[in-house]
């Protein structure tokens, strides 16, 4: 929705030509902007409560700069995921000034995200090689306003390590579990937990993990109820859903 | 084992009422019961807030009767899923008196479930052949104390049918979307929703849906964030997670 | 068919030794040329209405030069697909003079293609990373004489963006939809469209898109009828079929 | 949209109570009807030129009767696919009187379909066991107003049998090729044809055809351009697309 | 052929009791017997320490009777696996008199098996539906001379149930773990155990367990070392290997 | 080729209007017959040396009778494969009188096949459950004029059983090896053999043999050269190829 | 061990020239040589008629040199396959003097191979990118003593190109067909041929050819009998089998 | 936590040396150490008899150094697997002084491993390219205190090479068989052996070995009982299990 039509709309409302309801209805109309090669969703925050998040992989430098500048102007803050450090280094200067890059999580935040204020999301990893994916989930969660507690390398091969985790589980409102190889951790956590468990399979492992298919199937078949699954290595979506759930509370 | 009983145990020991051996034995005490062929989890409600749910498929009649009677005695109510009408007909008389069978959802409820009181879970189906799976989700949700709104046959082939759905979406705190074939509905709902979307792929469809693999993959790859996935045809787990999320609120 | 035998044939016809029909029959005989390592189809245009199109991937530089020169002599124009910019840079000077290289679409056109004159083909992409494949489709379509309208980044995650697309759909005679990840866009377009929809899955996406298998399956299972599918990333074939359909009109 | 409301609408327009635009807008509003378990798309014909087609598999008898009656009232004619003869026998009496059942194609037509009038669609099968799927395509095509020419059992194992086919190909505006096993026929037809080829893989064959995956992959990889693919055994969609293409001409 | 009989043979030759030809023939002597449709391995016990075990599935009644009679004559005892109760009922009378049929494990034992005497093999199941496969493992183990301890329904969804299992694990020399669905139990057991763990995936579960592929992959990818895997539902082989390992001790 | 044109052709030849060569050339033209639902290849024997073979699965009774009668009139003998005993029982009386049904191999032979006269084809099976597929290969081989030697149940689990096989291998000109489960036998035979080995995977086995995929892959990857592979359970093709190879000798 | 040496051995024993132990040792005598990291098969030629062929991929330089020198000493000639040009360049000087490297086919021949003398093997390719695999087949064939005729780029997209091929087919005793993409060529050739057809799938193609799986499946399912299949890109084995078949003639 | 320390704890409590709270805290005491990014299992040796083994792939240099130093302090010796030579070269100086790197097996041993003293483990490979995986198994076995005998390149293509292997098999208490391609060797060994066979599929081979899936399936389906399987290329786990079995003896 372009600026002047918004102005016209609101003027019409003040002048009594439109009811409050009519204005609200109009605000749901064509809320996007046609860029050279992208159609940017400007009302996403209004509609879903979260601004559009840019998937940076395979985008050209120019596409990235164009999108972040357009969205940066329209929103309080904007996130980009899967941004390689090397790409960031190239485009860094052309981005809006207020931004921060989280290298390990490969996340870019343009603008002013809210402070983490809503009660705990717990992010667990089965192994230490699962950490980058877990960081993607955790950073997204924090940038969307949630407090995050992390706990790494507590996979089922040493089940007693869960002792440290259990008190944290009691404090959490949602749990994100990141695991590769056999992907068995979410089943165990699901059986011990009172809150929803979001399982993230990772592509870590020996031959027959098939780049994440093995833990993906394990998680879909988790024998404990309460476990739900996102795509392989998709830490972002896990963090996003955790935030949606937490916000509901 | 609850905290206060642990305290009681240790105090009893210090007071000399129990031997060292007795304390050691009690510390290993098991919140489960060993039946002929099942190990029934009696403390599950304490631990996760929901009593154990029995997966009835492939269980023999005797196993079913034994398990429902044992759990029925220990809990306010107990659920069984995937119970075929034919099996139910055979075991009906040997079950505890207070029970109800939901034929389409293939769910058995023994005991006194809570009344649906917590605000809305919305259950959508893409096609009318997805209804049995959706019913499993909806009935589980209701039996765990949630109000459920249903809306059938609103798949993306006629995207305008979403008009009826949108006001219901605004009232919902969680949305369960059940879809076979292309499994595309959750992507569209996810893009329009402020609340978590739980996607359930079904095994409905032509050849290359491969008994649910096609919609499963679609949902895992949903381009809208906020969509999380459960196993093929697993309405139960979707309803269970929806209830966990709703209870959090 | 070699030049001199063609000459002989036509002379025989003029001299009344052959009927028109006989000449036409002969023209359907052995219409190919044996090069060092290729058997070039010279009558393809006669037979199918479109000259042979060269798949350039994995061909050596010498094979490419040999084929384009041979076909360039025999036809008004010739197309090559999947030509990497680097390969083009190496062989550029050895190609026939009249040619143009479309870098993003990786297409080479040797000779004089027709002007786009037949009414609209609409090419849509779900995301901006799908653009290279879409360009392959669009450029092929244009070089075969069709007018093309493009519309990018209108995937189902923001279904309202379709508002811009709908008027363009009304003008189109065929629609090509290019999508990766969940591949859900063709289902929605198919349900809104009066014309054939050609769906092109792309290999864009997170883990479980499996390099395009996920959107391929989605599209094959599209719940809206009227959607037909080509190979993963095969923009060329989509553009080619769109042209065949449009030419029919 | 029910008939009388349409009448009211148009009367209001003639009486000058509504502008042309208002009428047009109304015609795009909620064009579906909520039945007990289905959401029937009543304006589909208006929107796509073809009335909704009912996928009958796995629907209960009551769902089928309800849907065909509702759609039968609103439309000139309605089609149902994948209707087993046994199911038809059960529901036959409860269906609207004017209907016809095509047993081999498993298609039900309620109402008055148009006469086949538009020029030729050619339907080929590789083997005689592919005929049921081909019949589904052919009958759909005819019921949507197209003349159909059939040619069976002309697979590539006896390539010379194509001699009979070639003159028919010259008359056709679209070609549907149905093949199981190796699925090689569409590649050959595509290389000989000036018109679009719609390939339908079937689940006919020995072990490693994997219920249609083998011919599906063959067709997606057809080395001749101009071949597009639909789902395994999905004769209906092939016939539908052929009709869309033919209608364009 | 045993060593001393070779010596006897060569000595007999040197002593002129046998011709050169006879020795050559005997050197090719076959420790197996050619039946109508089977080649029975008579020296298997000599070679591997265990008599041949007959896989009964898909064998005709006549084949079964012929094989068990031939092997029964040559050995102290013979085992058959995967023998359906219905088949057993048909052939029962034609079998050697001394035999016993284990219906749940679908095992037939002809002859006099040794008494279970070697120290413990522990057989665990994750769920009660895994019991038939576990019984196959346990019965084979017992019939090959091992004492077996069983423990059912102790899957990871209620990890505290392992408390009962741990003391049994301390007594065991090998552990067989049978699990379907997520197949996560062996990973946990492997992390707690000092002895080899043999994991048996079962085909129990919801859609995406794909008839046992999901737990098979989980087990192959078990993050705890010491877990080794056999084929889906192959309780027999698990019991056989457990016996080999136990015999070594 | 229709009868009268054949007459004309031959008369022309007798009258000296055509050379022998011209007649032979003409005989290669349109050699098929259009039946109700089949296009029967009448000159296949001329072209490939073997008459067309009918794949009977999924064909209706009428199709079968029609095809066998048509082909039976035109050829010395005709084969049908995959004919179930039950179907045969139904159509038996409507078939040409001179025919024989091989129940285990599920083969029908109409007419007078040649006597087995060409030197040996050896057909081996790994297990006794592979026999039906092996019989299909063996009977086809014999009906096409080859002498066949069979040897069953000589799989690699008892490698010494090969001793009986080796002399037979020395007599053979081609070896067909039929195996399910691990499919390892062809690798061993290939390493011992001087002649081509045709491997036939069967769908016999436990869970992870995936209905023949496991032995199929084993055979394609056979570490011994000289092993070539046909489709799962496709004994017919193995026998056919063995005959082609043997005929060459 | 050859027959006469066995006779000599036993006679020597009877004559008292050898002890019992010596004979026993000799009877276990090994027709192979243990190198540092390989066990070279020295009697392979005796056993199968062809010397061992070395698969060079992934072998270290030292392994290659060691193996070729050992085999080179024991045989008239030795072949190596899958030898990269770069590896060859490194080891070239350390190889036996008499050798030749075929770069495109990646084959090394050490020693004196026989002259091509046995009648024709025909090697066809569907596309020009299939040539490297076809060369592997052709060079192996020639080095094993067969005359080879090549014909490239005659795939089914231009079926009329087969006109050149047909006379060559009439001269051939075996046909090797190399094809990627849809892999449809062998089906067509099989239907036209009197001799065995060996199909080689290649990993050439767009997305859904899945590195050769698509043509592999096509070929396994070839609707024409007489087609047999080897592993993806395995030109060597195709050439080897062709030679075995041709040698039989 | 060891038994006697629990006794001490409870006695100290009764004696008033510890508060109730302290006991409760100690009862939760964790036999692991929380590092920056790893949770190191310090009691693993106590629990399973073997210290934790570090999977080095994808770990950062800092993670590796931190983990090896922490574990090196707590244990007699520690193993790391999948450590690339290049990574080792970088971190070498920061590791504890007493360590040794096995380059081919990619194993790092920190500290003082036991001497190989327990009787034989036999490690076989089918081909010489399988040696790196076999070395991983063999080195792990030796470092855990077992004597290892190796035997390379004895695959089934030259079955007579097993003659050398058989006496070694008689000496072995466990056999590890490493094989790629067809993975057929374990089936043969299993049929000849009295001891457990651990099969390791490797990712060596042509196209359709699919990076180890083909031999994995072969081994899971081994027709000889007594064969158990580990993950693709997972030599470590094979060696570990072999050691567990051997230790039992």
Ordered per-residue pLDDT tens for chain E, 249 residues: 334 455 676 777 777 787 776 766 555 444 566 666 677 666 566 567 777 788 898 888 998 999 999 888 878 899 999 999 999 999 999 999 899 999 999 999 999 998 888 889 999 999 888 999 999 999 999 999 999 999 998 888 877 778 778 889 989 999 999 999 999 999 999 988 889 999 999 997 666 778 888 999 999 999 889 999 999 999 999 999 999 999 865
Q: How close does chain E come to F35, measured CA to CA in Å?
A: 39
Closest residue in chain A to residue B247, using alpha carbons only: A249
Q: What's the average model confidence in pLDDT over A186-191?
A: 92
Burial of D184 (0-12, 13-18, 19+ CB in 10 A): buried
Q: Given CB atoms, is C248 within the 8 Å cutoff of chain D?
A: yes
Give yes or no for residue D25 having a pLDDT over 60: no
Q: What pLDDT, on a 0 to 100 scale, did the predictor assign at position H238?
A: 96
Q: Is F144 helix (H, G, I), strand (E, B) or coil?
A: coil
Residue D114's CB: how many other CB atoms inside 10 A?
13
Pick from B182, B191, B223: which is nearest to C221 by CB?
Answer: B182
The rounded Cα F150 to chain-centroid distance in angstroms is 16
Give yes or no for residue C184 having a pLDDT over 90: yes
Distance CA(A125)–CA(E223), nearest Å, equals 13
- CB environment H135-170: b (16+ within 10 A), e (fewer): bbbbbbbbbbbbbbbbbbbbbbbbbbbbeebeebbe
Provide the pLDDT confidence category of residue D117 given band limits of 50, 70 and 90. confident
Q: How close does chain E come to H169, measured CA to CA in Å?
A: 11
Q: What pLDDT, on a 0 to 100 scale, did the predictor assign at position G50?
A: 75
Give yes or no for residue F53 having a pLDDT over 60: yes
Residues H139 and H107 sit within 8 Å (Cβ to Cβ): yes
Pick from F162, F182, F213: which is nearest to H222 by CB?
Answer: F182
Which of the two residues, C15 and G25, has the higher pLDDT score?
Answer: C15
Q: What pLDDT, on a 0 to 100 scale, did the predictor assign at position F2?
A: 37
Report pLDDT digits (tens) over G144-190.
Answer: 999 999 999 888 887 777 877 888 998 999 999 999 999 999 999 99
Residues G183 and D218 sit within 8 Å (Cβ to Cβ): yes
Q: Given CB atoms, is C234 within the 8 Å cutoff of chain G?
A: yes
Q: Between A and B, how many residue pairs show a Cβ–Cβ distance under 8 A?
A: 94
Residue with tokens 């392992």: E162
Q: Do B248 and A248 touch (CB under 8 A)?
A: yes
Strand F107-111 relative to strand F99-102: parallel, antiparallel, unpaired?
A: antiparallel
Q: What pLDDT, on a 0 to 100 scale, did the predictor assign at position C107?
A: 97
Give yes or no for residue A244 having a pLDDT over 60: yes
Closest residue in chain A to residue B224, using alpha carbons only: A237
Cα H89 to Cα H59, H102, H112, H113, H198: the distances in Å are 15, 12, 21, 22, 32
Max mean pLDDT range (B130-144, D208-222, E10-24, F200-214):
B130-144
Q: Do B220 and A236 touch (CB under 8 A)?
A: no
Q: What pLDDT, on a 0 to 100 scale, did the predictor assign at position E3?
A: 43
Q: Do G48 and F226 touch (CB under 8 A)?
A: yes
Q: What is the CA radius of gyration of chain F?
A: 21
Of the candidates E32, E40, E31, the one whose C-alpha atom is nearest the C-alpha of residue E65 is: E40
Give every CB contact of residue D142 below 8 A, 6+ residues apart in sequence.
D116, D148
Q: Given CB atoms, is F129 within the 8 Å cutoff of chain G?
A: no
Distance CA(A149)–CA(A168), nearest Å, equals 8
Mean pLDDT, chain C, whole residue set: 84
Report pLDDT digits (tens) over D131-175.
Answer: 999 999 999 999 999 999 999 988 888 777 787 888 899 899 999
Report pLDDT digits (tens) over G47-92.
Answer: 677 777 888 988 889 989 999 998 888 788 999 999 999 999 999 9
Q: What pLDDT, on a 0 to 100 scale, did the predictor assign at position G223?
A: 86
Question: From the CB coordinates, do chains A and F have 3 or more pairs under 8 Å?
Answer: no
Q: What pLDDT, on a 0 to 100 scale, did the predictor assign at position D72?
A: 86
The helix/strand count (H/E) of chain D reads as 10, 11
pTM of the model: 0.85
Chain E interface, mutation test: which of B24, B37, B39, most E Cβ atoms within 10 Å?
A: B39
Residue with tokens 């209004």: A46
Contacts of D43 in chain B (CB under 8 A): 160
Q: Do C188 and B191 touch (CB under 8 A)?
A: no
Q: Given CB atoms, is F44 within the 8 Å cutoff of chain D?
A: yes
Provide the pLDDT confidence category of residue A7 given band limits of 50, 70 and 90. low
Residues C52 and D190 sit within 8 Å (Cβ to Cβ): no
Q: How close does chain H come to A1, measured CA to CA in Å?
A: 46
Give yes or no for residue H36 having a pLDDT over 80: no
DSSP D126-170: SSGGGHHHHHHHHHHHHHTTEEEEEE-S--GGGGGGHHHHHHHHH
Q: What pLDDT, on a 0 to 100 scale, did the predictor assign at position B41?
A: 65
Q: What pLDDT, on a 0 to 100 scale, did the predictor assign at position A9?
A: 58
Over pLDDT 90: what percentage of chain G?
A: 51
Q: How close does chain D come to G131, measured CA to CA in Å?
A: 16
Question: From the CB coordinates, do chains E and G have 3 or more pairs under 8 Å?
Answer: yes
Q: What pLDDT, on a 0 to 100 scale, did the predictor assign at position C36?
A: 66
Q: What's the average model confidence in pLDDT over F180-200?
A: 93
Provide the pLDDT confidence category of residue D52 given band limits of 50, 70 and 90. confident
Q: What's the average model confidence in pLDDT over A86-110?
A: 95
Q: How close does chain A come to E220, measured CA to CA in Å?
A: 7
Contacts of B20 in chain H (CB under 8 A): 7, 10-11, 14
**Torsion-angle region of residue B183: left (phi > 0), alpha (psi -120 to 50) or beta?**
left
Q: Given CB atoms, is G244 within the 8 Å cutoff of chain F?
A: yes
Contacts of B205 in chain C (CB under 8 A): 221
CA angle A64–A68–A70, rounded 5-degree value: 120
Provide the pLDDT confidence category of residue G28 given band limits of 50, 70 and 90. very low
Cα H165 to Cα A13, E202, H161, H162: the distances in Å are 92, 35, 7, 5
Give yes or no for residue H25 having a pLDDT over 60: no
Subunits with 3+ Cβ pairs within 8 Å of B are A, C, D, E, H
Give yes or no for residue B194 having a pLDDT over 70: yes
Q: Given CB atoms, is C201 within the 8 Å cutoff of chain B?
A: no
Distance CA(A106)–CA(F174), nearest Å, equals 60
Pick from E194, E230, E249: which is nearest to H48 by CB?
Answer: E194
Cα C37 to Cα C40, C62, E245, G168: the distances in Å are 9, 10, 60, 17
Q: What pLDDT, on a 0 to 100 scale, did the predictor assign at position B33?
A: 66
Question: From the CB coordinates, do chains E and F have 3 or more pairs under 8 Å?
Answer: yes
State the complex-level ipTM.
Answer: 0.82
Pick from B52, B63, B211: which is nearest to E207 by CB?
Answer: B211
Q: What pLDDT, on a 0 to 100 scale, did the predictor assign at position C3?
A: 40
Report pLDDT digits (tens) over F1-32.
Answer: 334 454 565 566 667 776 665 655 555 444 56
Report pLDDT digits (tens) over A207-229.
Answer: 677 788 899 999 999 988 999 99
Over pLDDT 90: what percentage of chain C?
A: 51
Subunits with 3+ Cβ pairs within 8 Å of H are A, B, E, F, G
Which of the two residues, D195 and E248, has the higher pLDDT score?
Answer: D195
Report pLDDT digits (tens) over B42-78.
Answer: 656 656 777 778 889 888 899 899 999 988 887 889 9
> Which tokens belong to H168?
């070694």
Give yes or no for residue H247 having a pLDDT over 60: yes
Q: What's the average model confidence in pLDDT over B217-227?
A: 91
Subunits with 3+ Cβ pairs within 8 Å of A are B, C, E, H
Report pLDDT digits (tens) over F61-92.
Answer: 998 999 999 888 878 899 999 999 999 999 99
Q: What's the average model confidence in pLDDT over D101-110?
A: 96
Give yes or no for residue D5 having a pLDDT over 60: no
Residue with tokens 């072969």: H218
Question: From the CB coordinates, do chains C and B have 3 or more pairs under 8 Å?
Answer: yes
Q: Between C and D, how many residue pairs show a Cβ–Cβ distance under 8 A?
A: 93
Residues C180 and C126 sit within 8 Å (Cβ to Cβ): yes
Q: Do B39 and E153 touch (CB under 8 A)?
A: yes
Report pLDDT digits (tens) over C14-71.
Answer: 677 766 656 555 554 445 666 666 776 666 666 677 777 888 988 889 989 999 998 8
Pick from B157, B162, B210: which is nearest to C224 by CB?
Answer: B157
Question: From the CB coordinates, do chains A and E have 3 or more pairs under 8 Å?
Answer: yes
Q: What pLDDT, on a 0 to 100 scale, did the predictor assign at position A43?
A: 62
Q: What pLDDT, on a 0 to 100 scale, did the predictor assign at position C87?
A: 95
> Which tokens belong to B186?
């959750």
> Which tokens belong to B101?
């069978």
Contacts of B160 in chain D (CB under 8 A): 28, 30-32, 43
Q: Between A and C, how many residue pairs show a Cβ–Cβ distance under 8 A?
A: 61
Q: What's the average model confidence in pLDDT over D202-227?
A: 86
Q: What pLDDT, on a 0 to 100 scale, did the predictor assign at position D20?
A: 60
Contacts of H176 in chain E (CB under 8 A): none
Report pLDDT digits (tens) over H190-236.
Answer: 988 889 999 999 997 666 777 888 999 999 999 889 999 999 999 99
Q: Between B and C, how many residue pairs show a Cβ–Cβ distance under 8 A?
A: 116
């Amino acid at each position: 929705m372009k600026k002047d039509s918004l102005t016209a709309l609101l003027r019409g409302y003040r002048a009594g030509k439109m009811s409050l309801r009519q204005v609200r209805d109009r605000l749901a109309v064509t809320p996007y902007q046609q860029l050279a090669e992208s159609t940017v969703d400007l009302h996403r925050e209004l509609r879903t409560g979260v601004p559009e998040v840019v998937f940076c992989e395979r985008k050209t430098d120019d596409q990235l700069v164009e999108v972040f500048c357009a969205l940066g102007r329209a929103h309080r803050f904007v996130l980009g995921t899967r941004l390689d450090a090397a790409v960031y280094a190239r485009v860094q200067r052309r981005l809006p000034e207020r931004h921060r890059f989280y290298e390990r999580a490969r996340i870019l935040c343009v603008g002013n995200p809210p402070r983490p204020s809503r009660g705990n999301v717990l992010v667990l990893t089965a192994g230490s090689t699962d950490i980058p994916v877990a960081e993607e989930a955790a950073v997204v969660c924090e940038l969307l306003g949630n407090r995050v507690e992390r706990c790494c390398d507590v996979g089922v091969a040493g089940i007693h390590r869960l002792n440290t985790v259990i008190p944290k589980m009691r404090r959490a409102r949602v749990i994100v579990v990141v695991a590769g190889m056999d992907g068995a951790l979410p089943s165990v956590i699901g059986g011990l937990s009172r809150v929803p468990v979001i399982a993230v399979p990772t592509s870590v492992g020996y031959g027959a993990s098939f780049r994440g298919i093995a833990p993906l199937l394990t998680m879909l078949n988790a024998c404990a109820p309460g476990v739900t699954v996102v795509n392989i290595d998709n830490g972002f979506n896990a963090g996003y859903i955790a935030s949606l759930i937490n916000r509901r509370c």
